[in-house]
Amino acid sequence: MSYQRMPQFPSLQGHTYWLAEPQKGLLETLYEFEPDPDPMPLFTDTSFAAQASLSPLLFTLSATDGLAAQLAKDPKKLTGLLITTRESRTRLLQQLRSLLEARFLQRRKALLRYYDPRVASYLLPTCTGALQARWLGPITDIAWYGGTWADEFADGQQWHRLRHMEQPDAKASPVPLALNDAQLQRLVDQGYEHFAWRWLVSHKGYEMTQVLDWIEAGMAAGHTQHTSLNAWLDSQTMMQGAQQG
């Protein structure tokens, strides 16, 4: 099975790296537990180089102990992706950078923040079967702790692992990254679940699935703006209260 959710830190083999966005305590923690993390900005030599301050960093991890051992003890210590490969760091960087710019709906392009564990929880489980060669290339495993917005609402965050089931490809793919319909739908789902999660923060006592049904109905009724959709959700609670009363 190429994608798994698991309660414990996954078993990983090969050269191990940590890909993480800038966050509080990131560099201090890496240099505390790793002798030579040698951070490399992911946006370097890409079309996103001008946003260098926002670039995620790729760190080299120790074969034993180090940051991976700390994450096994406390997975919420930092947020990011653990990545393993049997190829060089140069080849890994080529692959990771090739995933930054996604094409969709024919000619549209966008930065794909797959390195955010939240986004990864929606998107990476779709990268199975024939998709693995393009998405994973030389990568053998990607692991992360977290989950979707629905997982967070249900207190269901845990470890995830996407394993390359075929022979990892040592050559860079010349094919631009394109999102298929299923992947686009997962990103749409992320937006809906995030909206539901934010609404539920101040409206206790409702289920995520119920609110998502209301959002779908509201969108179909033309409530496509935040203010209008919030008002629609509030109206649904009043209708439900009247029916129950």
The band of 18, judged by pLDDT with boundaries at 50, 70 and 90, is very high
Q: What is the pLDDT of residue 56?
A: 98
* φ/ψ (deg, to 5) at 18: -125, 120
pLDDT tens, position by position, 110-128: 999 999 999 999 999 999 8
Is the pTM higher than 0.85? The answer reads yes
pLDDT of 243 > 70? The answer is: no
The whole-number average pLDDT for the span 53-61 is 97
Q: Which residues neighbour 163 within 8 Å (Cβ) at sequence distance 6 or greater?
A: 1, 2, 3, 4, 140, 141
